[in-house]
Homo-oligomer: A and B are copies of this chain.
Amino acid sequence: VTLDYACYACGRTASPPAARCVCGEPLWIDSDATDFDWPVDGPESMWRYRDVLPVDPPAGMGSVVGGTPLVRTAPLDDFAGARIHVKYEGTNPTGSFKDRGSAIGVVAAVESDANAVGTVSHGNMAMSVAATAASCATPCVVLVPADIPPERLDAIAAFDPTIVQVEGSYGDLYFDSYDVGRDLGIRFLNSDTPLRVEGQKTTAYEVCEAFAPGAPDAAVLPVSSGGHASGVWKALRELVAAGRLDALPRLYLAQSAACDPVAAAFRDGDDEVSATEAGETIAYSIANADPPSGTRALTAARETDGGVCAVTDDEIRAARDRLARDAGLRVEAASATSLAATRRLTDRGAIAADEDVVVVATGSGYGEAGAASPHRTTLADLRATLSELV
């Protein structure tokens, strides 16, 4: 992978493996997709967009990432206040959108002379990088916080990566890992690396293809590091440059109110996202207090006439339950922030009732159970019991 990097903010270019532009902002791959056109001919996976991706698909599990369903979920319209379409990323091989960026990143690492791939994550990204690396017979190092809950550690361990619990600032670890990795030949695929952003942009290509030649009015997605939002924004820019989108869908980003640095900057009219304190939230997957691509995500929301919205845990729980109970889609709490935010945005008139809104559900929620209130009976009393219940 020899493509150059570019900075969205100042326009400077740089060469891999630079992690940041000299201006301080994150880089992305300087791709030229101006001859892209619909319809696309290719497999039902992210690799149908091979022409705008920097690497070829790997063999095995990485080859079937993406191609996730866009589900028109009319029963959610009343709750959300608009025409809702759920982009359900839970059907990726490891159950989250992270597989898209992991596939690009692991292939690039294999093509280079890296000794291993690595990531800094305590959740979906850790499982995704470990699984993708395993499928490519590439050693993998996962750096996790020292206080990671044991059940999450065990879930990552299923793919047998080298797991290291690191004491110290988790925010510093994100950047230190790049320096250490460069010296030791470990390609770190953290959440806003240019390779990962390149994979995440395929979410938006899929959504736009589903609406082509039109487009949805708005898209709402959870924001944590800002890497996914960056990828979606990059895709929209590429499609505009190629003449395949007349108007940008408005991009709205959702955070938990307990940890909302991007939403705070949007509310305050700031040009840059500043670090905040992370409070407790059920949406722990997106509780990033110092998002490395936060300012880029903020810019994406502003430039598309969208916005950033924070929601409470109660609102997140309500949205998560509606997704399961009205649409049959079980998502993790962090994913439900996008539906909760949509409800807020329609309440305040930012999104109209007749608009088509794509709500991105970034991961499945089978690890997050409900609370059962079962009835009890015996085989002999089954008929009597059911006749009262149904």
Chain A interface (Cβ < 8 Å from any Cβ of B): 44-45, 59-64, 67, 69, 71-75, 88, 90-95, 115-116, 127, 131-135, 137, 139, 141, 143-144, 146, 150-151, 153-160, 162-169, 172-173, 176-177, 180-181, 183-186, 321, 324-330, 364-380, 382-383, 385-387, 389-390
Contact = CB atoms under 8 A, between A and B. Distances in A.
Q: How many chain copies does the complex carry?
A: 2
7 contacts: A63-B71, A88-B93, A95-B364, A135-B326, A141-B386, A157-B370, A165-B377
A360 to B, nearest CB: 15
Contacts of A135: 73, 75, 326-329
A167 B151 CA distance: 32
A130 to B, nearest CB: 8
A91 B92 contact: yes
Given A157-B371, A184-B387, A93 B93 contact: no
A103 to B, nearest CB: 10
Nearest to A73: B60
Contacts of A378: 166-168
B328 A60 contact: yes
Contacts of A132: 328
Contact of A386 (B146, B186, B376, B382): B186
